[in-house]
Amino acid sequence: MSENLLLVDIGNTCIKLVFATPDALEASYTLPTRAQHTPDSLGLALLQLLALRGLKPEDIDACAVCSVVPDVYSLFRDACRKYLGTAPLAFPGDFELDMVNGYDQPQEVGADRLLAAYAARQLFPEPKSLISVDFGTATTFDCVSGRTYLGGLICPGLFSSRNALAANTAKLPRISLDVTETNAIIGRNTATSMNHGFLFGFSAMAEGLCERLKAQLPGPVFVVGTGGIAQDLSGICRAFDAIRPDLIPEGLRLVWNERKARMTK
């Protein structure tokens, strides 16, 4: 019987909870990341999601977490102990990573950036170099050559930029960021002007920065897009060779499999 895994990506905006087996991701759910969470609120949410999947707490064989929000991770860890009866494994502390961290100060690299780069390399082993582009709270570009994580770029995020603009201007609306056109048009109303400005502006940023990064990497270079809106942008952005919306949970699944293999030798 296959094992049931709970893979959790705790970001600055959202907590993504993914039910999986060692072979594949199965179902994904999203909670907001907010200071008002408590271990009980997170634990009760876990129980609801388990029930939705037809599972009981004891059916979860392992939980692995990648977090860039230490306070929320502490709350989630306590929720797992109380409601699942087990403590989660945390990336990177509880895992060995088959990748060299080439950052000047390796401890400064966000766990999400490192895991996404690792997952991209594991899923696409053939190209000499890789760029992982993650459209999260920030837009990050992470470069891998061979089995070495080199570093990358951190840029503004699409949704956080939209929210900041709406919050700090008197007359600009909050827009939906729906991709409805394949080419940027001259906006004849404010909503269209903003929507196309953001969508095609961030697509152009991804295309331009990937080209500049490729010039510094041994080729061929393969570009993987991830994050909530990457799938939508793939229709208008020429930067991507592949889209993996859940690259971080994929990375957790892969490192969990490798950890288990080492422990059973």
**Active-site entry in 9, 112, 134, 246:** 112
* CA Rg value for the chain: 19
Residue 40 a catalytic site member: no
Cα–Cα distance for residue pair 119/153, rounded to 1 Å: 18
Q: Is 53 exposed, middle or buried (0-12, 13-18, 19+ CB in 10 A)?
A: middle
Residue 135 belongs to what H/E stretch? Answer: strand 129-135
Percentage of the chain with pLDDT > 90? 77
* 59 neighbors 50 (Cβ within 8 angstroms): yes
pLDDT digits (tens, 9 = 90+) for 3-52: 999 999 999 999 999 999 999 999 999 999 987 899 999 999 999 999 99
Query: Same domain, yes or no, for 110 and 42?
Result: no
Tens digit of each residue's pLDDT (9 = 90 or more) over 57-108? 999 999 999 999 999 999 999 999 999 999 999 999 999 898 999 999 999 9
Question: By the 8 A CB rule, do 115 and 251 touch?
Answer: yes
Task: Please check whether residue 262 lies inside any domain of the structure.
Answer: no
Dihedral of alpha carbons 32, 37, 41, 46, sign: positive
Q: Give the chain's domain count.
A: 2
Cα distance between residue 135 and residue 123, in whole Å? 19
- Domain co-membership, 178 together with 114: yes
pLDDT at position 1, please? Answer: 64
pLDDT in the model for residue 194: 86
Same domain, residue pair 229 and 143: yes
Q: How far is Cα 233 from Cα 123, in angstroms, rounded to an integer?
A: 21
Residues 55, 19 share a domain: yes
Pair 207, 113 in one domain? yes
**What sign has the CA pseudo-torsion 189, 193, 160, 46?**
positive
Domain limits at 70?
Answer: 5-91
pLDDT, mean over the chain: 93
pTM, entire model? 0.92
Coil, strand or helix at 89: strand
Q: Which residue has the higher pLDDT, 56 or 160?
A: 56
Report residue 232 as tokens. 């939508």
* Token representation of residue 244: 């993996």
Task: Look up the CATH number of the domain holding residue 43.
Answer: 3.30.420.40
